Structure 1
Amino acid sequence: MSAVIEYILSDLHRYEGGTSSGALLRHLATNWSFRYSFWLRLCGCRSRVVRVVAKIVHRHLSIKYGIHIPASTQIGHGLFIGHAVGLVVNHTARIGSNCNLSQFTTIGSNHEHAAVIGDNVYIGPGACIVEDVVIGSNATIGAGSVVVNDVAEGATAAGNPARVISMNKPGRYVANRWSGNAAKSVTAQQHAQIRP
């Protein structure tokens, strides 16, 4: 349970800049995005009772908000969902720590090899990340971009298809980063080693 709690607190920190119990209750009551990630994280709890309840609530919120992030998706600490609406993530995607996912974003795959996204990555509204690409840490993906090729660490990519337009100010839209000692993430280097 302690690992799940750390994930929840890391997500809360991204919204609040802290992890107080008052902030937790306030965000659960008023913040749809945090509420969704809270129940998503609880789906990984070891307690069977908590896990079953979490999966029921997660499914309900998925339908209500139009978000599809399977509980089995590997997501690092500090997930930030910009707006709780219209978000689809393939279960094979691997998302690093301190990542921002915006509304109407799709991280998909038809071949069970979705993207690997590094740490401190901002993905803008309406972005579509297609198949087995690697997005390096501290990258920024512009709104409406269609990413079909790897994006280098620290790059800003935009367009259809997305191209690197800048290497300035890497990770600039990722605020309140979680830096807990136990934070684990998926790096582009790790993905390169396991690519088929």
Structure 2
Amino acid sequence: MSNAWEVASAIGTLGAVIVALGIPVVSAWKGKQVHRQKADLIASRLIEPVKALEEGLRSEMVSYTFYNDAEHSSDQSHAARIVRIGSLANSINVDVLQDLFILPNGCAGRLAIALGIIDVLTRDVEVVMSQGKWPKLIEMQRLFLVSQWREQASNCADYLAVVRRELQKAADRIAKMPSPEEIYDNNHKYQ
């Protein structure tokens, strides 16, 4: 009889240990799930601004690639486009980057780097254009700046391409694109 009590006591102790160890594990798992959902929700919000930044930078990269100083030295429209890209980048609150750390492929870090590049590019273009320096520069200086800006735009767009893919994957986990059936609700009869 005493042996049965010892076995029951051992089973009870083992059960208590399992429960004691299991509670923090389950709690940590639930916390990670909540953090993942928050990152996915933020990713859903950031997809379109990141896509617009990437497309804008690729467009500028192309215009800088085909820059011809004889034709474009007096054209300063690219400055306005870069400033718009900078304004769009500033609309992304850097405080949310911390919540994106859970996303793979260094998504948060790459987005931070891209925003930093855009900041430098925008400030550089603003300084050169706002002080009326552009027309006063010699051709070689303008070509150097255009080459530098093209490289910055290219690097930044590459970072943003990876970020956009990861944001899309995260957004798809929380809310996929609606299907035609969902959009047009076949059960609803329109009159």
Shared fold, TM over 0.5: no
Which category describes the TM-score, using the shorter chain as reference length? under 0.3
* Structure with more helix by fraction: 2
Q: Which has the higher contact order (CA 8 A, sep 6+)?
A: 2
TM score, norm. by length of structure 1 = 0.22
TM score, norm. by length of structure 2 = 0.22
